[in-house]
Structure 1
Amino acid sequence: MDSIDLEVLNACAQWLRDGWRCEYITVVHTWGSSPRPVGATMAIRADGTVVGSVSGGCIEDDLIASIREHGIVQTTPKVLTYGISADEAHRFGLPCGGTIQLVVEPLANHSRISELAGLMSDRILTKRILDLETGTVELANGCAEEQLCLSNGRLLTIHGPRLRLLIIGAGQLSQFLAQIALCLEYQVTVCDPRDEHRASWTLKGVELVRAMPDDVVLQMKLDQRSAVVALTHDPKLDDLALMEALRTEAFYVGAIGSRANNAKRRERLRHFDLSGQQIAKLRGPIGLYIGSKTPYEIAISILAELTAVKNNVAVPWKLGVAAGKELDRPR
């Protein structure tokens, strides 16, 4: 399962190989409310076939109708703005006051789409610079701190994993968690020194290492774009890694387990050289309460909480896993 960005790029690359004309469309600016964020992409083939989305509504319909009526006639990129007036915003299904600006790029061999898709498949963060006047493209190593920028007739976009996720333990839950994280464009590392657990690993696109988890934490030099999830239930593997992770700027550090086990874990961590503030960063039990039972549901629960933390969204107590278990207790 690919990320949406890679799915769109792969579709464009295949269409070009098959001899189709197509357009690659990027959201470059929004004002007010907007259904899709800056950086969202879609592609339209000459027959109106669409992959991806820039608004989830009528803007796609307008772009498709234009291609079906006029064909793909432009040879260089152009900038389109929707929702300037209230009437136009209503027509295109934008929220009140919403305005969205797009770059519409007709693709050709010089667009380097296949090359970019290959780099994304290899999990290489890549910067793409599009010259709006000529349509020529430069590709270079990307930086996670860089943002989409439309300036001086050039569009800079960043493609590939900006975030890192370290999963401690290579069990079934780890595979499901890693699979979803890949779709969310995380660079995923799974660490497990136990040969019997690594032997059953089948997911591609993930770095699987056998070193001790605390050594991996130190080697990765975790920063504000990093997250750590401990899933082994084994203090010998989890605790030292969590201790090192809690000393870093990682935006999320969590461990699976019951409230009782997490309370014991926090008590063990107090014997290390950690401050109360650092220990308070530990999340556990991890995940949002959605009544999850299966490994896939638990993985969704964990990624939901991780996403909320990444987006600086406060999670109400009643949605926490621990709270859910409390609410489930028979009266």
Structure 2
Amino acid sequence: MTKTWLIYALGGGWGHLTRALSLGRIAAIQRKVKIITNSPYAQQIDNEGCFIYLIPENTGVSETCLQVREILYKTSYDRLIIDTFPRGLGGELADILPKLHHIPQILIHRDINPRYVAAKKLRSFIIENFDKVIVPGEGEDLPFCDLSMVQHTAPWLIRNCWELPDRVTTRSRILKVDQSVKTILVCAAGKTSELFFFAELALWLQQNFPDCAVRILAPTCPREFPQALWVSHHPGIECLAAADIVVGGAGYNTVYECAAVSVPLVALPLERLYDRQERRATKSNWVQNIGNALSENQLVRIHTTINLLLDQVETEKNSSVPFYINGAVQAVEQIEQT
């Protein structure tokens, strides 16, 4: 009988779904993988060999909870993997997980706001309901890292280093820039409501760095934005690897993908209810942390930071991709052993 893993990956933007696909595509080589998501971008990207249960993003909280409940109770699976939210994004897993104790349950413990941990008494809930907690490269100082069931991996990435296309190919075919031109890539991978913000930033960069090629990586082209500057491509790590500088938020995938491919990130940590982007940006050596409010002073800091980074960019970079470890491969082995 074929084994099946079910991954709960609710949350907006590309983040939760990309992390689920990073794990799922590796696991799907030897088993079936099904992913529950409400990402607005799910229909625009490759499912990487996984089956996607898509709950439309405009579905109300109560209806979303009902759909999740129905999938969990009516689907056959032998591993249940919960990304980030132990009780579910809307708390809908609180009364479901105790009824599924016959199925191994694994929590993927990304950094999360301690206020949420305390308010929902997550520590005792995790101890009672999860068989294993996996930390995907977020360090050893997270709220639950002292629990005995915790295991660590390197950050999860949706491509292994040997799977990335070479820099020259990506720049010419996807980014459509000349190899000799220094390239600034604005990564608009967060909420759809933030697209206008990043579009304005990209236009400002184009105006202030006329000798560079500026591109915006986004699922859809911002309104009244030059189509020639827009790139729609998934997985985004392939584009990040071909850029000289990335400007974006400090979400999980943006930070760790830039670090893996050795491209500096000029980060504007964005406000999130659960994720602490400011903290992640401060901890990474590859991140130039600007702050999350685009005041005149912040624009000056961005300008100064990019100028300094451009001086360090080699005009003719090696086309090969740096070697990195993909923690998703480690995680598949750890989950299989649960």
User: Structure 2-normalised TM-score?
Assistant: 0.34
Larger radius of gyration: 1
Q: Tell me the TM-score normalised to structure 1 length.
A: 0.34
